[in-house]
Amino acid sequence: MKTGWRSIAITAALAALASGAGTWASTAWLMKRQEAPSLHSIVHHQLDLTAEQDTRLEAIEARFSARRGALEAEVRKANRELADAIAVSEGDSQQVQAAVDHFHVAMGDLQKATIAHVFEMRSVLTPQQAQVFDRQVVGALLQDAG
């Protein structure tokens, strides 16, 4: 009987050790992953901007920030509508489809505005700065695409 308890204790200890090692390994892997730099970081920290460029870009960013807030609020509203439609629906109803359509329009509007913002920012840059900017933007999009 003592041997049975010893085997259980050894198995439990090995399982705990393996679990700890797996947790440590996955945490280490996640910590090594680098997040793509933000558009703001790319522009203000990786490009050598002139004072005039910086002023122009700050104005562009301020305008977009206000617009983005409204667009994101519309996406959240459309998402709530979809949740509400699903909650009261017995299936794929006209109400659900209308909510899905609203969500797609809201997301599309946000995406289009974001792309327009990226190109508006790019228009302030020199050709050399634009090359760095483009590489970073494309790299971030490809990273998100997997």
What pLDDT is recorded for position 139? 85
Q: Which band of pLDDT confidence, cut at 50, 70 and 90, is reported for residue 102?
A: very high
Q: Which band of pLDDT confidence, cut at 50, 70 and 90, is reported for residue 143?
A: confident
Question: Residue 119 sits in which domain range?
Answer: 39-145
Q: Do residues 21 and 59 share a domain? A: no
Torsion of CA 102, 104, 110, 116, to 10 degrees: -120
State yes or no: pLDDT of 123 exceeds 60: yes
Q: Do residues 80 and 117 share a domain? A: yes
The tokens describing 43, both together, are 């522009």
- pLDDT tens column, 9-35: 555 544 544 444 444 544 444 444 455
Q: Do residues 21 and 48 share a domain? A: no
Cα–Cα dist 108/121, whole Å: 20
Instruction: State the total domains in the chain.
Output: 2
Q: Do residues 26 and 46 share a domain? A: no
CATH code of the domain covering residue 92: 1.20.120.1490
pTM of the full predicted structure?
0.67
Q: CA distances (Å), 99 to each of 19, 40, 130, in order?
A: 44, 33, 39
Q: Do residues 56 and 74 share a domain? A: yes
Q: Do residues 10 and 47 share a domain? A: no
Q: Do residues 65 and 82 share a domain? A: yes
Q: Do residues 75 and 27 share a domain? A: no
Cα–Cα dist 74/107, whole Å: 8
Q: Do residues 47 and 14 share a domain? A: no
CA torsion sign for 72, 134, 125, 49 is positive
Instruction: Give burial (CB, 10 Å; 0-12/13-18/19+) of 126.
Output: middle
Contact 43, 120 (CB under 8 A): no
- pLDDT tens column, 32-84: 445 555 777 778 888 889 999 999 999 999 999 989 999 999 999 999 999 99
